[in-house]
Structure 1
Amino acid sequence: MSTPNTPAGRRVGRPRAQERPADGPEPREELLAVAAELFTTRGYTATSTRSIAERAGLRQASLYHYFDGKEAILADLLEGTVRPSLELAAGLVSRTEASPEARLWALCHADATLLCAGPHNLGALYLLPEVGTERFADFHRLRAELKSAYTGLLATTEPGAHLTPEELALRADLLFGLTESVILIRRAGPGHDPDALAGATADAALRVAGVPQRALARLRREGLGLLAARV
């Protein structure tokens, strides 16, 4: 049976352990926010569904109304670090009026920005051994699609067009790994300015792609224009 909705469109859940403001976040989003904090500060293994529910002001049974367990919460958080970049990549593919180098810069910048965004370094959760299990197959599929988008844009750049398939695959691995390295940089130095880090990462990515240094300023302006057009 489907879950009824209130007139305001809010999903009807189980009773809360304590009253919360009516204009506060939806319970599902609140659970995700709390889990993000606990997973990245206390640790995934040390965090229980009970502690997540209690921090969110819910009974533990109420958590299972939204998620079937701790792994489901982690999977949702991880997928949320990839989906926006994948959607942007799909849009950039169609922006053929812009150079492929600028589109690649824009994707790297936006992806690094997403990984640096928010109060918690969710990308660090990629390294959890649990993430290697079949339960996280959707996350790995989305991440593989995003890497494929990097490869496709790289292949259309002037330097990429001269690479062999093997060289292209290796260069794409380097590009993707460079962008995701902001996860470790953020963990080691959380005080880095996210925009500056994203810009430096995108610049470095184009150099790895084979773009000459003298072209970076122009491509940076073009890439920023592409990102601004999305706002």
Structure 2
Amino acid sequence: MRHKRRDGIETRHLIVKVSRDLFMELGYRAVSTRKIATACQITQPTLYHYFENKEAIYLEVLRTELLETKNQLDQVISNHEDLEECLFQISYHLLLHVPKDLSQMEHDIRHELAEQHRGMIFQWWQAAYLTPISTVLEKGMNKGEIRHPSEYHTTVDSLSMLLLNLIKAYPPSDPSSPEIQIEKRAEEQARLFTNILLYGLAPK
């Protein structure tokens, strides 16, 4: 019984992993449950045993992706107490590990999924990206390390979005580049983004 359950969990994980790659590469509309089943080397009835339809698979892909990001950022935050270093490590992690092809999934969320799911997806995204950064900024604000955002007519979440938009706009590295070069480039940009957020561009 335990062995069968473990196999079932592994199959479900396989479906989610394979579907993620297909959705990001081809888009929601171009991926069928038949294509997913074939790529997983399982039958369609087996796939439907785990997921009701393609939309259910897509939602699970998103949920899994965002939960993984949330857990990773929570770990980064727990390992770094200093405000500047913590924001740097968050930026560095996202630059290295968040796939740039998420734009395909963002398009599909807006145009392919039922509207009833969008609020739930936004909550997942908020918990994964916005809340961790806002929590770090609020902690710094409470310690007096940064000014209250109301002093310049904005909010903590808006400041978090500023950092996220800088990271999102950063062009991807050439995948053929040596790993050490990719990491160095991400480190330089993460430090720049952190300095822009905390100190602006004016000379000290």
TM range (shorter): 0.7 to 0.9
Is contact 2:27-2:105 (8 Å) kept?
Answer: no
The structural deviation recorded for 1:91 is 4.2
Partner of 1:203: 191
Query: Which of 143, 147, 165 is the equivalent residue of 1:177?
Result: 165
1:47-66 counterparts in 2 under 5 A?
47-66=31-50
Query: Which of 160, 174, 186 is the equivalent residue of 2:146?
Result: 160
Is contact 1:32-1:77 (8 Å) kept?
Answer: yes
Q: AA paired with 1:108?
A: S
The structural deviation recorded for 1:80 is 3.0
1:134-155 CA-to-partner distances (Å, cap 9, x unmatched) read: 2244432122123022122123
Structure 1: gaps of 5 or more residues: 13-25, 214-231
* In structure 1, distance between residues paired with 2:58 and 2:134: 27
Partner of 2:101: 121
Is contact 1:39-1:47 (8 Å) kept?
Answer: yes
The structural deviation recorded for 1:115 is 0.8
Partner of 1:75: 59
The structural deviation recorded for 1:206 is 0.7
Q: What is the root-mean-square deviation of aligned Cα atoms in Å?
A: 3.3
1:128-147 counterparts in 2 under 5 A?
128=108, 129=110, 130=112, 133-145=115-127, 146-147=129-130
Q: Matched residue of 1:160: which SS?
A: coil
Partner of 2:29: 45
Is contact 1:160-1:210 (8 Å) kept?
Answer: yes
* In structure 1, distance between residues paired with 2:51 and 2:18: 14
Is contact 1:101-1:154 (8 Å) kept?
Answer: no
Q: AA paired with 1:104?
A: L
Is contact 1:159-1:211 (8 Å) kept?
Answer: no
The structural deviation recorded for 1:163 is 3.0
- The aligned length equals 190
More helix by share: 2
1:38-75 CA-to-partner distances (Å, cap 9, x unmatched) read: 22233210111111112211111111112222122222
- Gap change, CA 1:142 and 1:78, over 3 Å in 2: same
- Gap change, CA 1:49 and 1:200, over 3 Å in 2: farther
1:14-48 CA-to-partner distances (Å, cap 9, x unmatched) read: xxxxxxxxxxxx32232223222322233210111
Partner of 1:10: 7
- Gap change, CA 1:40 and 1:89, over 3 Å in 2: closer
* In structure 1, distance between residues paired with 2:92 and 2:194: 11
Q: AA paired with 1:113?
A: L
The structural deviation recorded for 1:196 is 4.2
Structure 2: gaps of 5 or more residues: none
The structural deviation recorded for 1:8 is 7.9
* In structure 1, distance between residues paired with 2:118 and 2:44: 23
Q: Matched residue of 1:45: which SS?
A: coil
